[in-house]
A and B are shown apart, each in its own frame.
Chain A
Amino acid sequence: EAEVAQSPRYKITEKSQAVAFWCDPISGHATLYWYRQILGQGPELLVQFQDESVVDDSQLPKDRFSAERLKGVDSTLKIQPAELGDSAMYLCASSGRAVGANVLTFGAGSRLTVL
């Protein structure tokens, strides 16, 4: 069964350091999402890509977060500098091109701890 790949699974860093997360969606999926899930809460959308273009980044803290999907396939989410409040699970998801509702498939996530 096709999966969304994410790395690293776990990352511990000190505040003010830079961190990066990588996501490889299911082959052929045009839409890619990055969600942030703070412990005890539901996931919140950070950024949505359609192919290589950003569709929605209204909730992305652009002073420190950046995301790119240069060739419309895999994607990188970067935080620089990291702050204590960035400790969370970062989830990547992808969906296909079918008309109508596409189901999002999630990766296993990258858990970030900022010390």
Chain B
Amino acid sequence: AQSVTQLDSQVPVFEEAPVELRCNYSSSVSVYLFWYVQYPNQGLQLLLKYLSGSTLVKGINGFEAEFNKSQTSFHLRKPSVHISDTAEYFCAVSNFGNEKLTFGTGTRLTIIP
């Protein structure tokens, strides 16, 4: 079985400041890792994914994440946030051979003007 832990349920950040949203996973097999963003009353939009290769992954809207196998982490970062980044962010994991996603409980990012 696999699981995802998002350590922070809410993260307030001042506009133009950097942010890191933390994600740790647990799995007995090799994994694929994802970050999705959800705006109010909308579905989930893919921000970025790690499948293989370089451990630093760049996504949309200036976000990036780094896969750390020894730490079983996949933290999401952005060097300078904007008001429009206010949303819920979900980390998710899937296993080789089965694309179904297991999600974390989400982190609500609030940007303070």
Sort chain A's interface into a size bin.
20 to 34
| A48, B100: Cβ atoms closer than 8 Å | yes
| B105, A45: Cβ atoms closer than 8 Å | no
Within 8 A of A (CB), among B48-103: 49, 51, 90, 92, 94, 96, 99-103
| B99, A42: Cβ atoms closer than 8 Å | no
Whether a CB of chain A sits under 8 angstroms from the CB of B41 is yes
Whether a CB of chain B sits under 8 angstroms from the CB of A21 is no
| B103, A42: Cβ atoms closer than 8 Å | yes
In the bound complex, residues from chain A placing their C-beta under 8 Å from that of B100 are 33, 45, 48, 56
Of the listed stretches A12-20, A60-68, A76-84, A100-108, chain B binds A100-108
In the bound complex, residues from chain A placing their C-beta under 8 Å from that of B43 are 4, 6, 91, 106-109
B94 CB to closest chain A CB (Å) equals 7
Nearest opposing residue in chain B for A95, CB measure: B99
In the bound complex, residues from chain B placing their C-beta under 8 Å from that of A45 are 100-102
Nearest opposing residue in chain A for B108, CB measure: A40
In the bound complex, residues from chain A placing their C-beta under 8 Å from that of B42 are 108-109
B39 CB to closest chain A CB (Å) equals 10
| A43, B103: Cβ atoms closer than 8 Å | yes
| A106, B51: Cβ atoms closer than 8 Å | no
| B49, A42: Cβ atoms closer than 8 Å | no
Cα–Cα distance between A83 and B72 once the two chains are bound (Å): 38
State which of B4, B41, B49, B106 has its C-beta within 8 Å of the C-beta of A103. Answer: B49
Cα–Cα distance between A101 and B101 once the two chains are bound (Å): 11
A interface, CB within 8 angstroms of B:
4, 6, 31, 33, 40-45, 48, 56, 91, 93, 95, 100-109, 111
